[in-house]
Amino acid sequence: MPSLAPLRSFALAALNLLYPPRCAACLARLPAPGDFCPPCAAQLQPIDGPHCRTCSEPFSGRLAAPFACPNCRGQSFAFDCALSAWRSSGPLREAIHRFKYGRHLHLRLPLAHKLRDALADPRFPPAPAANWFLVPVPLHPRRLRERRFNQSAELALTLSKLTGLPCRHLLRRTRYTSSQAALNRPERLRNLAGAFSLKPRTPLPPHAGFLLVDDVFTTGSTAHECAAVLKKAGAGPVIVLTVARG
């Protein structure tokens, strides 16, 4: 059978001509293959310095011991830790916003690249669990109709293609909740209590660890509620994986 590779590269070249690759944040044409234009890429903020061992909140300064940030101090989260390689600021925040609210679905690929960066964190994988599964944070069906797609599911499925890690839609949102954006942490927790459950007839894979996928980690309330459902069902390690840390 003849190779399809030349045809594929021709199709890709034609597509690039019709739709030249653009920066995920500012829409400028990209001079070379990539996700962000050079000025936007220069503004992305990696989380590569000292950070909270639980939620990855960066700490500006030097640290001698593992650091628990004010967000986590005195908290007990149901997840083991939350990993993000990038801050939610500037061009990345802009790209996430356009993806989620502007329905720019194609941005799932550049954002999944940023999500994949979090897997390089030395906290992953922790010792136990043989197999890891990606689990998207679910949307309520009503929110899904409003937004037309679940951003977490799109990111998890794209990351699954990039890494080979299987994706399982284990959770569902059983209660429609108002937007979390304007709420503080106690209000968020109250708003979300009992909002998630395990999908019926969906047993957890045994001896597994779970990577809970979302776009942004802010207070951790959503991730906590989802992780609590998985842990209650007997899950081993649950690690939160987000494109960015708010």
Q: Is 37 in the site for Zn ion (CB under 5 A)?
A: yes
Q: Which of 218, 191, 205 is nearest to 96 (CA)?
A: 218
Q: What is the phi/psi pair of residue 107, to 5°? A: -70, -5
Q: Is 72 in the site for Zn ion (CB under 5 A)?
A: yes
Q: Which of 79, 169, 159 is nearest to 117 (CA)?
A: 159
Q: Tell me, what amino acid is at 184?
A: N
Interacting span for Zn ion (CB under 5 A) from 28-36, 100-108, 109-117, 148-156: 28-36
Q: Is 162 in the site for Zn ion (CB under 5 A)?
A: no
Q: Is 30 in the site for Zn ion (CB under 5 A)?
A: no
3-state SS class at 108: helix
Other beta carbons within 10 Å of 100: 18
Q: Is 41 in the site for Zn ion (CB under 5 A)?
A: no
Residues 234 and 193: their CA atoms lie apart, in Å, by 19
Among residues 26, 162, 198, 233, the one that binds Zn ion under rule CB under 5 A? 26
Residues in binding contact with Zn ion, number by CB under 5 A: 13
- Give whichever of 29 and 201 is closer to Zn ion, judged by the CB atom: 29
- Give whichever of 133 and 217 is closer to Zn ion, judged by the CB atom: 217
33 in Cβ contact with 41 (< 8 Å)? no
- Give whichever of 82 and 139 is closer to Zn ion, judged by the CB atom: 82
Contacts by 156-162, CB closer than 8 A, 24 or more apart: 156/213, 158/108, 158/109, 158/111, 158/112, 159/112, 159/115, 159/116, 159/134, 159/213, 159/241, 160/134, 162/112, 162/113, 162/116
Least CB distance to Zn ion at residue 38 (A):
8
Among residues 40, 85, 107, 211, the one that binds Zn ion under rule CB under 5 A? 40
Q: Is 23 in the site for Zn ion (CB under 5 A)?
A: yes
Least CB distance to Zn ion at residue 115 (A):
19
* Residues of span 51-70 touching Zn ion by CB under 5 A: 52, 54-55, 57, 69
Interface residues toward Zn ion, by CB under 5 A: 23, 25-26, 28, 37, 40, 52, 54-55, 57, 69, 71-72
